[in-house]
Amino acid sequence: MADPMKIRATLQGDVADVRVLMAHPMETGQRKDAAGKLVPLHFIQTITAQLNGKTVFTADVSQAVSRNPVFAFKVKGAKVGDKLSITWQDNTGDKRTDELVIRAGS
């Protein structure tokens, strides 16, 4: 299982500014290791974010996303106490879900 995501949600009025950092190598399949062998493709393909169980943001991405990906998005209508859940899945089937409860002034 991969390392936990770092998720931060800042409320500005009723808009939650969400920033997430995922721990993932995002190998492009073109890089060679020290022995000169190609490192196989290994990258996050899909991301789903839910606010109180409703899907608000999804992403399908390629290996062109940088290593340890950072994404930010904004959700209108969010409030203190809302539960934000983010899931990613990579091309090997590995996946991870992390959750955050939106707090005042956090």
Partner 1 sequence: MHQTRRSVIKAGGAAALFAVFGGVLLQPGRALAAWNKGAFEAKNIADAMKSVGVANAEESKAIEIRAPEIAENGAVVPIDITSNIPGTTSISVFIEKNPFPYTGTFDFSQGAVPYVHLRVKIGESSPVRVVATAGGKHYTTAKEVKVTIGGCGG
Q: For the purposes of burial, counting CB atoms within 10 Å of the CB of 72, is it exposed (0-12), middle (13-18) or buried (19 or more)?
A: exposed
Residues 7-46 binding partner 1 (CB under 8 A) are 15, 19, 28, 30-33, 39, 45-46
Q: How far is the CB of 106 from partner 1 (least distance, A)?
A: 19
Dihedral sign for Cα 40, 46, 49, 53, please. negative
Q: Which residue has the tokens 């493709």?
A: 41
d(CA 70, CA 103): 21
Contact with partner 1 (CB under 8 A): which of 71, 84, 100, 102? 71
User: Considering only residues 3, 23, 40, 55, which one is a binding residue for partner 1 as defined by CB under 8 A?
Assistant: 55
Q: Which residues bind partner 1 (CB under 8 A)?
A: 15, 19, 28, 30-33, 39, 45-46, 48, 51, 54-67, 69-78, 87-89, 95, 97
